[in-house]
């Protein structure tokens, strides 16, 4: 018989190297449990969780250089990305608006394009796996409503040249969205230019349920101007509240409360310590793999992508390691807070055992 306590998961994270999710912080887990029945989708009725959501948005604003942020806690990065496209489309003054993004953009952008009937123009990244502003300049035109950049890509952990993408968006009067779903809780401790304080970006995705160590579901959509949220607003008869900007109706109070608790306990020192520890581990893993003769892509965030054969990949999976691959076939190891040196030592032992 398996006992599942309130402080652990029924499936252990022991061999999980593929996920951007991780064990929630203890305070985040407790807060989630306490708010299972609260609906932030109806803030006039559920005022306690509504207040926590406002505080969460304001703490997220602090992370991303925005003194007066507008936004809400989404179900995840996908919802936030869909909302960015929806806001841009609703504000566009041209027929048949398009979105220009690098091929490194998360697949949720394809969902957005299909749901909202906008044209998605995906532009090849440069050899460094970052967005290529020159190539993207050839793809924008007067119908471009949104230019999309990634601050911490899902496959390689790369940060796009955000200020150059802002210039590009400005040149065609488009909005600029930054997807920091993965990178947002690491990048405050780097010298990268990625947030509202560094460049004139309009909106951002940042996910507390990834490196923010909140319980699932907790994503974030943030905007510089109130008008972006207004473009998402729908009237709501029969609720106590009058309008709603979220895609979901009833939303998770657990997600909101746990994001709030995680931010309150971990920002900034806890997140900084986690970033420094996992980044060092990622660099160490990259060196170890490199010394074994594998082609490794230098990690920029705690994510190590390296070329390995199909057979090694399959044998490691058969041995119980949860690993995933990029579209180009590299194995990607996400060094989330549940990963430690012992786990990576065991993984490297498995690599040595199973490589040809
Ligand atoms: C994970 C991720 C998403 C999607 O977020 P979900 O919470 O899974 O919906 C979007 N963008 C990036 C860069 C991501 O890493």
Tell me, what CATH number does 113's domain have? 3.40.640.10
Residue 96 lies in a domain: yes
Q: Are residues 34 and 60 in the same domain?
A: yes
**Distance, CA 305 to ligand 1 centroid (Å)?**
18
In this prediction, the residues of the chain whose per-residue pLDDT falls under 70 are 1-7
Domain boundary among 266, 296, 319: 266
Q: Which of 162, 205, 336 to mutate to test the pocket of ligand 1 (most atoms within 8 A of CB)?
A: 205
Determine contact, residues 110/82, Cβ cutoff 8 Å: no
CA–CA separation, 187 and 165 (whole Å): 18
- Residue 1's pLDDT is 45
Q: Between vectors from CA 210 to CA 59 and to CA 185, what angle results, nearest 5°?
A: 45
Long-range contacts of residues 91-94, Cβ cutoff 8 Å, at least 24 apart: 91/145, 91/175, 91/227, 91/228, 91/231, 92/143, 92/145, 94/142, 94/143, 94/145
CATH number of the domain within which 308 lies: 3.90.1150.10
Span from the CA of 45 to the centroid of ligand 1 (angstroms)? 30
**What pLDDT does residue 3 have?**
52
From 266, 286, 305, the end of a domain falls on: 266
Q: Where are the alpha helices (DSSP H) in 190-296?
A: 226-230, 253-266, 269-291
52 and 142 housed in the same domain: yes
| Six-digit token string for 115 | 């749901």
Same domain, 80 and 192: yes
Q: State whether the beta carbon of 104 lies less than 6 angstroms from ligand 1.
A: no
The pLDDT, as a whole number, for residue 4 is: 52
pLDDT attached to residue 8: 73
Do 206 and 123 fall into the same domain? yes
Please provide the distance, in angstroms rounded to a whole number, between the alpha carbons at the two ends of the chain: 39
Residue 245's domain comprises 26-266
In terms of domains, do 153 and 190 share one?
yes
User: Is 299 found in the same domain as 163?
Assistant: no
**pLDDT tens digits, one per residue of 210-264:** 999 999 999 999 999 999 999 999 998 888 888 999 999 999 999 999 999 999 9
Is position 121 within any domain? yes
Cβ atoms within 10 A of the Cβ of 344, count?
19
Q: From the CA of 9, how far away is ligand 1's center (Å)?
A: 22
Let me know if residue 8 belongs to a domain.
no
For β-strands 219-223 and 70-74, DSSP reports them as antiparallel
* CA 250/CA 158 separation, integer angstroms: 34
Task: Give the span between the Cα atoms of 63 and 263, in whole angstroms.
Answer: 10
Q: Rounded mean pLDDT of the chain?
A: 96
**Last residue in a domain, options 266, 287, 313:** 266
């Amino acid at each position: 018989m398996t006992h599942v306590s309130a402080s652990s998961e029924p499936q252990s994270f022991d061999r999980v190297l593929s996920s951007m999710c991780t064990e929630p912080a203890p305070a985040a887990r407790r807060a989630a449990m306490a708010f299972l029945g609260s609906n932030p989708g109806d803030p006039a009725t559920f005022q306690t969780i509504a207040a926590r959501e406002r505080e969460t948005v304001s703490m997220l604003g602090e992370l991303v250089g925005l003194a007066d942020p507008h936004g809400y806690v989404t179900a995840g990065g996908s919802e936030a990305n869909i909302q960015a496209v929806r806001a841009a489309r609703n504000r566009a003054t041209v027929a048949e608006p398009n979105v220009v993004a690098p091929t490194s953009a998360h697949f949720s952008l394809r969902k957005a394009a299909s749901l909202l009937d906008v044209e998605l123009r995906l532009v090849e990244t440069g050899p460094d796996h970052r967005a290529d502003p020159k190539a993207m300049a050839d793809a924008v035109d007067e119908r471009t409503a949104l230019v999309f950049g990634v601050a911490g890509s899902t496959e390689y952990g790369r940060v796009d040249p955000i200020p150059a993408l802002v210039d590009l968006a400005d040149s065609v009067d488009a909005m600029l969205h930054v997807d920091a779903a993965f990178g947002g809780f690491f990048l405050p401790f780097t010298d990268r230019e990625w947030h509202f304080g560094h460049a004139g970006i309009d909106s951002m995705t940042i996910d507390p349920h990834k490196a923010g160590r909140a319980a699932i579901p907790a994503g974030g959509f943030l905007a510089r101007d109130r008008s972006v949220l207004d473009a998402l607003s729908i009237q709501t008869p029969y609720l106590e509240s009058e309008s709603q900007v979220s895609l979901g109706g009833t939303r998770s109070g657990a997600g909101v409360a746990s994001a709030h608790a995680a931010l309150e306990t971990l920002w900034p020192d806890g997140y900084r310590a986690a970033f420094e520890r996992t980044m060092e581990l990622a660099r160490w893993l990259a060196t170890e793999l490199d010394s074994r003769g594998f082609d490794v892509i230098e990690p920029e965030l705690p994510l190590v992508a390296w070329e390995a054969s199909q057979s090694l990949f399959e044998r490691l999976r058969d041995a119980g390691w949860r690993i995933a691959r990029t579209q180009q076939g590299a194995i990607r190891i996400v060094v989330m807070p549940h990963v430690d040196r012992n786990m990576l030592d065991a993984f490297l032992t498995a690599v040595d055992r199973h490589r040809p």
